[in-house]
Amino acid sequence: MTDSDSIKPATQMQYLPGVGPSRALSMEKLGIQTAQQLLFFFPRDYEFPAPPLPIEQIQDGEACSLIGQVSDVELISRTPGKSIVNAIVVNETGAVKLLFFNQPFRADQLILDQRVLVSGVPKMNGLKVEFTHPKVVLINDDEELPKPEILPIYSLTDGIKQAELRRIARLVVNALSDSLKEVLPLPLREKAAAILNERETGIGDMLAPIETAIRNLHFPSDQQALFQARTRLIFQECLVLQLALAIRQRRLSVELKSPVLESSAMIDARIKNRFPFSLTNDQERVIREIRDDLSRPFPMNRLLQGDVGSGKTVVAIYAMMLAVANQRQAVLMAPTEVLARQHYNMLRKMLKDSRVNLGLLCGSLATAERRRVLDATKSGEIEILIGTQALLHAGVKFKCLGVAVVDEQHKFGVAQRELLRSGGEDPHYLVMSATPIPRSVAMTLFGDVELSTLRETPPGRGKVHTYLSHQGWKDRWWIFARQKLDEGRQVYVVAPMIKANRSESSKEGETTDDREDTSSVETVFEDLCNGPLSDYRVGLLHGRMNQDRKQRVMEDFNEGKIQVLVSTTVIEVGIDVSNATVMTILGAQQFGLAQLHQLRGRVSRGVHEGHVCIFTDGEDAPEENERLKIFSETSDGFDLAEADFQMRGPGDFFGKSQSGLPPLRIADLQRDFEIMKAARVLAKQCIRDGSLIESDAWNELRGQVMRRYGKRLDLGDLA
């Protein structure tokens, strides 16, 4: 029996040849406890053979290889345990020097006239070429030249060396790869290759079988074999994810029932006549998409993403009004009470003199008013209810809810949806996001949601200018701010933190700190009141203020009673004061790109040009910060989202718990976007023609989908 004959998928690492208990403990730190886990512990990179070069073409610091003969060897022993071996290798194109420190055995290995293959990174020492500790392969005269080998590079931990892990992996791959069960049937691999080849991937007639893919992923015979192996496994991972999302989308349409909300030319005209402006082409298109969704007997499950100021709220109002026109109720959930009240006041003005009854449910309502709103909602008297997350925790009961609008990326899953069911039916769901989502993220995390996008800005909006500024220029900036205030405009000043003790909790996502910091709102407020803006009416706003005070400050700013608002990020979402055209952002390095763009959106609400100036704390100049430089040069939120994703990568972009999906093992959302698109196409075909559900040949694939994503098919978040 050979070593590989005794290896089974469940074999514990310590029982593999040459591993033992000590190395097994080290392997466990890498998440590897069994042979099968090692089989699917994929290399993070590869060591490619260096190209052979004539000696005169060798460049300093560029990896290469050469074949020659040993012409001289010298062992120099300086002190016990310390030695240097010098060797000279020559061929018809010249000579190179090899240096080995504390490897005296090299003097016996490199005998005169021995043919060798030398690989490494050379260094030029004057006109001489030197290799320090190169890889040396001995070549016998009767042997063919060794074939260059691509070597896997695995993630390591203390107690495991790369050479050891390669040896163990080779044993496992040889033992187990041929017995792997094929997850993708041959017809599916052929279909996948056809779709991929439409994208000019060069994958061939079909995806590689699983055993070939696993072998060539760990120990590829050449670069083409590696490409085909990676493509096969990346596609499989993408397909499993897309099938899970497609199944969930199908189940929403088959198992859940919602009221049919019909439209007509008269209803459409009555709703649009309530808007005191013309809709953009984007808004008209998205409204048509939503009308089609609402006319079906299963829930709309749509994510509406749009740049700041693109008019998402108008689209949401249309959907809610269509529900009311069909004798159904609608609800809009906002992330803050300030924004909920703003939505409520806007709707009150828009629906003035109409028979539509509105309600507001927020945490600050008096007990009697809260009870009245709850009773009126339950009876159906209130037709459109606006509120915060209090809507989910206040025992709200609807008589006949038709549309639920969730504003600004709430975590909104099955448990929350259950609370909004009425009469045994699910409402239609519209989730709005002012943070544009990168294309690859939309295709994965939101793959089971219909996506609508608003990119067009309503006409008449002023352009926004963004500036990076040094601390030394702050006085000049305040002069500019005073000029704009004297012209009648209003100013935001945003700071990242509240001056407070670390032990006190923060609200609204703000930072607290126990340092006297120039970027704390309280310090900035005091400095401006006593300094450059002392002649103007300055207000203060942050999340630790009570709700009545926050609301009063926002109303005063909206009415112009406050000219300068010093605030934390509580103004980031949805605050709409068209006369505010100047914004100063302090401590800008503490904000993310999306957050900076949201803040900038507060000064693009009217016809006047906006001006945003960002300052950083400390000695670093803002233009040295790549993120801030991109922000100042890019005004399109979708472009910023892609740039942010490129810089941060999927892990940092999602955070530890935002994605709601297991991490991808080999696929990369940025690099493998085209493969993910191809997998999405095939997944939709499989669900549409029923092959995944009906064919026994697909049992393994079905099982893999359910094992990896089954628990999330019903519990995945809407947004």
Whose tokens are 């829930």? That residue is 299
The span from the CA of 498 to the CA of 495, in Å, is: 8
The span from the CA of 709 to the CA of 689, in Å, is: 21
The span from the CA of 524 to the CA of 499, in Å, is: 10
Length of the chain measured in residues:
719
pLDDT band at residue 198 under the 50/70/90 scheme: confident
* Token reading at 717: 């978040």
Largest Cα–Cα distance of the chain, in whole Å? 103
* Token reading at 421: 């069911």
Q: CA 95 → CA 66, 89, 141, distances in Å?
A: 10, 6, 20
334: helix, coil or strand? coil
Residue 214 has what pLDDT? 96
pLDDT in tens, 35-45: 999 999 999 99
Alpha helical stretches, state H, 295-396 = 312-325, 337-350, 367-379
pLDDT in tens, 71-85: 999 998 867 778 999
Name the nearest CA neighbour of 614 among 580, 640, 583: 583
Alpha helical stretches, state H, 40-185 = 106-109, 162-176
* Token reading at 430: 């519209």
Amino acid at 402: G
Residue 500 has pLDDT above 60, yes or no: no
651: helix, coil or strand? helix
Residue 236 has what pLDDT? 95
The overall average pLDDT reported for the chain is 85
Find residue 129's DSSP bridge partners. 124
Name the nearest CA neighbour of 606 among 637, 577, 639, 567: 577
pLDDT in tens, 635-665: 888 888 888 777 776 555 444 444 456 678 8
**For the residues 176-200, what does the mean pLDDT come to?**
90
Residue 515 has what pLDDT? 41
Q: Which residues contact residue 464 at a Cβ distance below 8 angstroms, ignoring those fewer than 6 apart?
A: 600, 603, 604, 609, 610, 611, 612, 635
The span from the CA of 51 to the CA of 382, in Å, is: 76
pLDDT in tens, 435-461: 777 777 777 767 678 889 898 877 767
Q: Are 361 and 385 in contact (CB under 8 A)?
A: yes
Q: What strand order describes the sheet that includes 464-468?
A: 464-468, 610-614, 580-585, 490-494, 564-567, 538-541
Residue 430 has pLDDT above 60, yes or no: yes
The span from the CA of 526 to the CA of 590, in Å, is: 21
Residue 649 has what pLDDT? 62
CA end-to-end span of the chain: 55
% residues pLDDT > 90 (the chain): 48
**For the residues 560-577, what does the mean pLDDT come to?**
84
Q: Are 332 and 343 in contact (CB under 8 A)?
A: yes
Q: Which residues contact residue 296 at a Cβ distance below 8 angstroms, ignoring those fewer than 6 apart?
A: 253, 258, 260
Residue ranges and CATH numbers for the domains of the chain are: 1-47+162-176 (1.10.150), 49-149 (2.40.50.140), 265-454 (3.40.50.300), 464-635 (3.40.50.300)
More confident residue, 625 or 485: 485
More confident residue, 154 or 710: 154
pLDDT in tens, 254-313: 778 999 999 999 999 999 999 988 899 999 999 999 999 999 999 998 989 887 778 888
Residue 647 has what pLDDT? 76
Residue 442 has what pLDDT? 75
